[in-house]
Structure 1
Amino acid sequence: MVKKISFSHLLLPPKLYCFVLVYTCLEVLIMDKVTVKIMSYSCKMVDITEEGVSLVEDLYKRRQPLPTMDAIYFIQPTKENVFIFLSDMSGRSPLYRKAYVFFSSSIQKELVAQIKKDTTVLPRIAALSEMNLEYFAIDSQGFVTDHERALEELFGENVEGSHKYNACLNTMATRIATTFASLREFPYVRYRAAKSSLDVSTVTTLRDLVPTKLAAAVWNCLAKYKSTIPDFPQRETCELLIVDRTIDQIAPIIHEWTYDAMCHDLLNMEGNKFIHEVKVESKDGKQKTEKKEVLLEDHDPIWLELRHAHIADASERLHEKMTKFIMKNKAAQIHQSSR
């Protein structure tokens, strides 16, 4: 029997619903560094364990053999990952009984052929599928492709002839395309052309061609989906607009005054986690300081309501909520009077 974890609370509404197949009989989930981040953005550990997965493993770490258990591999379709997978499942003593393999994006034909060559592994593969799930849902309104050095690799001084330039663009294109695969949307891909296409006297650089090259790479991925993904639209259903910073040079220096922006500016946060100290009374009556963690994410209704509000508006609304809470809560009233 197959169950699915629904990520319908993530990403762009109203139609971006992503599913990861999880089989109730499977108990080991194996991921690499990228897919771990994808999963951590999408669901919590409790969501995974509720589907019958009792153990989550790192693909690159040495793992204990569990020959009586089946395993799910949710990994990127790279040569290194495929090699490790084949090492796990080949020979007389594989690490697991059966393997359900899900790739985060499209896999090359050469790697599929490499898997087929290993006759000891083939009977042990229960599923082999492309999930097309390689983007990072930061909140209910958007996602990122997770390229911290994209500005340097695409617009730096030494981009001419750099392999990092093409690698960055191709990875971004793949991850953007997997989003549309999840949406089952086939977009018109529109982009801002380089100025040289309009003015012959202007010299074209690789920096000028970022929107053009990214649009072409995204389109190539989407064109493959038309023939490989069931129920994928055969005609365009929406629009994708690709531009670069040159269309709006003032935005990076404008300071945001939203509740979200102010939290990240003024608080010492690690990603979406804020650690603060509170004073609590111990059993012997003495006060001690404890550290508490707060996750500012879509599971927090207050954060979801106020994150995009102006800080002044958010402050007033928080004050109103606190006042109402104290009026209804006797413990809060006693605590306030004691202060």
Structure 2
Amino acid sequence: MSMSDSDSSSHGGDQKTFRQISRDRLLYEMLRSTKVKDSKSTWKVLIMDKITVKVMSYSCKMADITEEGVSLVEDLYKRRQPLPSMDAIYFIQPTKENVVRFLADMSGRSPLYRKAFVFFSSPVNKELVTLIKKDASVLPRIGALSEMNLEYFAIDSQGFVTDHEKALEELFGENAEGSHKYNACLNTMAIRVATVLASLREFPNVRYRAAKSSLDVSMLTTLRDLVPTKLAAAVWNYLAKYKATIPDFPQRETCELLIVDRSIDQIAPIIHEWTYDAMCHDLLNMDGNKYTHEVPSKTGSTTEKKEVLLEDHDPIWLELRDAHIADASERLHEKMTNFITKNKAAQIHHSSRGNWLLNS
């Protein structure tokens, strides 16, 4: 899914990209808010689960996190060394398993950390809050308990995904009707779409493609037909809660949210994309946005591996990613030719590389 750059009033009217808004919330609204003047601990430990690690990595770099006072990043489900003199920041999903892990870290006479600042990625239910309150040894050690409402993956400056690779199977497959996976997938998607709108401080008119009604009684409406309807209803329920609980959240509609399923355009999935971006992901063995390739070593006798991140900070990628592959190829060749003619070091390297290719 994608959306245009937001000009949200909650961010001082500054026009920021979608990824920048996500980054600012994570760094300033979450990490920086844990800096207490009377705190004895300068550096903190950041603890995340599998999902929140991905949320963080899509928007922030390790240098950004370190700059906000985090000296160590840990996995909630891995064995960790006790650091009783340091404070910890928990950025986790509001699941029972995660809360039980957190309580195990912070309860008893010897907690792993001095104080815990807990931030949930999406709304937490009352049962889990009650579970935390029941542990009298943990309550004095909690510095914050807050809902960040940020559980989506900002893949670039204008786009996000809810990370459901099997959504087509779970929502439209033969065994989708009435299955637990069907409901779980819809609910998780609704939560994550709603947290996008919470981050943007947008309260939309939710419009969706309703199931076609038929006078023919033999044409029954299936759960597959109701995917947009059910998703729209779930998103609206979360937005209604945000409207009542999040400070400065709009009380009137500010934009339009359109929810449709793939049946509205059945030809699109089988049309091959010929953009530079699509071709890179289709033809190269990429890990997310990271491409690893081999180049000649300095000695020229062997090769060495190098990693390239195809992201918004790369101006060439930003310029060419949406161009047709033929156009992109011509423009890349032109840029390379111009660079070589103006750079003596590049001329020498290009010449030596050509000789290496001939010899090999």
TM-score calculated relative to the size of structure 1: 0.93
Partner of 2:31: 22
Distance 2:3 2:56 in 1: 13
Distance 2:122 2:4 in 1: 19
Distance 2:250 2:278 in 1: 38
Partner of 1:191: 208
Partner of 1:7: none
2:116–2:143 contact (8 Å) kept in structure 1: yes
1:103–1:131 contact (8 Å) kept in structure 2: yes
| Structure 1 residue 26: Cα displacement | 4.0
Compute the RMSD of aligned alpha carbons.
Answer: 1.5
Counterpart residue identity of residue 61, structure 1 = K
Partner of 2:94: 77
Partner of 1:31: 48
**Which piece of structure 1 moves more, 47-56 or 236-245?**
47-56
Distance 1:336 1:146 in 2: 41
Q: How many pairs does the alignment contain?
A: 326
| Structure 1 residue 291: Cα displacement | 1.1
Residue identity over aligned pairs, in percent, reads 80
Partner of 1:6: none
**Which piece of structure 1 moves more, 221-230 or 45-54?**
45-54
Counterpart residue identity of residue 152, structure 2 = Y
**Which piece of structure 1 moves more, 249-258 or 259-268?**
259-268
Distance 1:311 1:230 in 2: 46
Alignment of 1:48-197 (within 5 A): 48-196=65-213
Distance 1:234 1:274 in 2: 44
Partner of 1:326: 340
**Which piece of structure 1 moves more, 13-22 or 269-278?**
13-22
Runs of 4+ in 1 over 6 A off after TM superposition: none
Distance 1:75 1:218 in 2: 21
Distance 2:114 2:4 in 1: 38
1:8-50 CA-to-partner distances (Å, cap 9, x unmatched) read xx97412442212214534200000000011111111121112
Distance 2:165 2:3 in 1: 20
- In 2 relative to 1, CA 13–274 (structure 1 residues): closer, same or farther, beyond 3 Å? same
Partner of 1:275: 292
Aligned partner of 2:315 among 288, 301, 315:
301
Q: Secondary structure at the match of 1:95?
A: coil
Q: Which structure: greater helix fraction?
A: 2
Counterpart residue identity of residue 200, structure 2 = L
1:156-203 CA-to-partner distances (Å, cap 9, x unmatched) read 11122211111110000000000000000000000000012x545331
Q: Secondary structure at the match of 2:278?
A: helix
2:178–2:223 contact (8 Å) kept in structure 1: no
Q: Secondary structure at the match of 1:136?
A: coil
1:72-91 CA-to-partner distances (Å, cap 9, x unmatched) read 00000011111111111111
Partner of 2:357: none
Counterpart residue identity of residue 314, structure 2 = D
Partner of 2:259: 242
Distance 2:91 2:3 in 1: 20
**Which piece of structure 1 moves more, 222-231 or 256-265?**
256-265
Distance 2:60 2:3 in 1: 12
Q: Secondary structure at the match of 2:307?
A: strand
1:194–1:209 contact (8 Å) kept in structure 2: yes
Q: Secondary structure at the match of 1:22?
A: helix
- In 2 relative to 1, CA 26–224 (structure 1 residues): closer, same or farther, beyond 3 Å? farther
1:90–1:121 contact (8 Å) kept in structure 2: yes
Counterpart residue identity of residue 5, structure 2 = P
| Structure 1 residue 335: Cα displacement | 2.9
- In 2 relative to 1, CA 101–12 (structure 1 residues): closer, same or farther, beyond 3 Å? farther
| Structure 1 residue 275: Cα displacement | 1.3
| Structure 1 residue 336: Cα displacement | 3.4
Distance 1:189 1:170 in 2: 16
Distance 1:12 1:138 in 2: 13
Partner of 2:325: 311
Distance 2:3 2:177 in 1: 35
Distance 2:264 2:69 in 1: 49
**Structure 2: 5+ residue stretches without partners:** 8-17, 36-41, 355-360
1:86–1:121 contact (8 Å) kept in structure 2: yes
Q: Secondary structure at the match of 1:138?
A: coil
2:171–2:182 contact (8 Å) kept in structure 1: yes
2:106–2:141 contact (8 Å) kept in structure 1: yes
Counterpart residue identity of residue 134, structure 2 = K
Alignment of 1:208-227 (within 5 A): 208-227=225-244
